[in-house]
Amino acid sequence: MREKDWMDEDSRIQNFLLKIVHRYFAISFSQFAQYDIYPGQVPVVILLSKREGLSQSEICRELKIKPSTVTVSMKRMEKNGLIIRKPDEKDQRIQRIYGTDKLKVLQKEIYKLVRKNEEVMMDGFTESELHLMNRFLHQIYENLEKIPVPETEKLKERGGICHD
C-alpha cells in the first residue's frame, strides 16, 4: 500500500472499524442504561450466563480485558444488585462472581436487545456475505494476536495485563 493511500483516513479499514465501534457503543450506552448495564459489561453478563463462579482474574483472561476494567465493572454490577461475590471454598483469598436473580432476568432482555441490534446492523447482507465477513473479522482478530505487546512491570501496575 502506498503511503499516501494509508494516510487517507476515508479509505482506511481501521478508521471504519473505529467509527463502527464508537457508534455501536454510543447507541448501546443509551439502550443498556435502562438495565443499569454499561455496554462494556455485556460480555461479562454473557460470560456469567454461561459460566458462573469465575474469579475476576478468570474473567479478565477469558474476555481479554484489563483487570482494572473488570474491577470497575464488578463494583458497578454489585452496587446495582446484579452480581454477588462469594469466597472460594478452597482458597478464601479468591472471590467467585455469581449473577443474582435480577441479573438472570435481565440476561434475557439483554440477549434480545443484542440480537435485535445485530439484525439491524447486518440488514442488507446476504448469508454468504455474512459468512465471509465473519471469516474476515476472525482473521483480523487472529492477526491482532500476532502483534507483540510489551509486558513490562509498568503495564502490570497500570492494569494493562491480566495477572493473578
Q: Report all structural domains of the chain as residue ranges with CATH numbers, in order of start.
A: 3-125 (1.10.10.10)
CA dihedral for 2, 131, 42, 95, sign (positive or negative): negative
> Alpha-carbon distance 157 to 164, whole Å?
12
| pLDDT at site 22 | 92
Length of the chain: 164
**pLDDT in the model for residue 163:** 45
Write down the pLDDT at residue 40: 82
Which cell is 95 given? 472471590
Q: What pLDDT tens digit does each residue of the chain (164 aa) get?
A: 555 565 566 668 888 899 999 999 899 889 988 888 888 888 999 999 999 999 999 999 999 899 999 999 999 999 999 999 999 999 999 999 999 999 999 998 988 998 999 999 999 999 999 999 999 999 999 999 999 988 765 555 555 555 43
